[in-house]
Amino acid sequence: MLAAVRVGGWVVYPLTLLAVLAMAITIDRAYVFARFHAFRRLDAMFVTQPGTPLWLHETRAQSLATRIERDMSRGFWLLETIVTAAPLLGLLGTIVGMMHSFQLFGGSGLVNPGAVTGGVAQSLVATAIGLIVALFALFAFNYFSRRLERLMDDLEVFANERLSELRLGAENTVANASDVP
């Protein structure tokens, strides 16, 4: 890592910060998804009190789903930003490294061949690190976005099944009440 910082120049520092942020968000979201038990919360919500209107259950289910989606997607915006920012920082390192290399060319020819190759190496290291950080953040973002999508689909199916059961129970209660003389 220290060699990459020496060769890659100052651009490696913000890229390292982005890499640490991406890893921290990935670990946090992996932990949250592993420990999440939405169905227990939803199931407890559908315990009905006599006379509770169906619309109230629907509203509670919708707001709980919204809160779950908001909580589970925490940090996604930062991963998305890292996907965009890391390659741009790598490109900035490329430009700085190449500018450094071209400054060494003088009117009298090549001044220091070792310094020119050092500038090219700086540009390549910065670009490579930027791409690696962006790819890591992209894979993490796509993975967790897909897991959240599936979770929200499962929550919707679960809530619809419970609401259908409540509707059926309410219809049966009304039908039984109308059969009684």
Q: Extract the tokens encoding 130.
A: 């930027």
Q: What is the pLDDT of residue 48?
A: 66
For the chain, the domains span: 2-179
Q: How far is CA 5 from CA 1, 16, 42, 98, 112, in A?
A: 6, 9, 50, 17, 22
Per-residue pLDDT at 166: 82
Residues (pLDDT < 70) of the chain are: 1-6, 38-39, 41-42, 45-48, 50, 104-116, 118-119, 177-181
d(CA 76, CA 22): 10
Determine contact, residues 64/40, Cβ cutoff 8 Å.
no
Residue 79: the pLDDT is: 96
This prediction has a pTM of: 0.79
